[in-house]
Amino acid sequence: MKRIGILGGTFNPTHIMHIRPAVEVEEAFELARVDFVPCATPPHKTKNGLLSFELRNRMIRAAINRYPNFTVNELEAERSGPSYTYDTLQHYKETEEECELFFIMGSIDLATLGDWHKGLELIELANIIVLARSDSDVEEFNRLCPQYWPNLELLPAAGNVAAAYSLGTHSIYFLPQPRIDVSATLIRERWMQDRDISYLVPDSVHKIMTDYADVITACWSDERKCN
């Protein structure tokens, strides 16, 4: 059965810690494809300073161009209302019936999953891969998972996976990854301070940002200019 990874986010902008984790997951879980799913209308994050969907989409496509198994799915721009992960996974479940789905998320997001729209029901639609952000994250993972889903069954660690549980037909995995402390917030702050962001974003993304420097600076300084 073909395995598909699903990595969502605002990608505002795309940076190396969007791409490198996708590589780690593709290798560890032998995925046939990793879909980057840019969020059109984020329900959990403020839209302040959110670049247009078109520009963010262009940056993602440029960043993943060298990876033959990485693609972009624009489905959330085709829906009205908030871009809920549950709705996105439901769409995948209906359209990729012969595939095994793996939703990719960070350990920081796991801590707030209970506040998401049907967040604790995501495991009914797909496997979940939680990516480490610090050495202590696996302890938090092992604390939160049984709290969220009391009927979980502990699975033995295998390969690069440090911890795992199963619930029905799906599982949730904790995957350590190289520690690179880069975030979109950091990129935006450095950009607005006119500091060098080389090697924090892919070169192809840096070029787009340079080409659209006035648009990006205007948006990140005043959200009213983001359209």
Task: Report pLDDT for 204.
Answer: 98
Please, are residues 14 and 51 in contact by the beta-carbon 8 Å criterion? no
pTM of the model: 0.94
Please, are residues 59 and 11 in contact by the beta-carbon 8 Å criterion? yes
Could you tell me the two tokens for 113? Answer: 């999953």
pLDDT averaged per 10 residues, the chain (length 227): 96 96 97 97 78 97 97 94 95 95 95 96 98 86 96 92 96 93 95 97 98 96 81
Report CA-CA distances (Å) from 218 to 53, 207, 225.
16, 17, 6
Task: Report pLDDT for 45.
Answer: 61
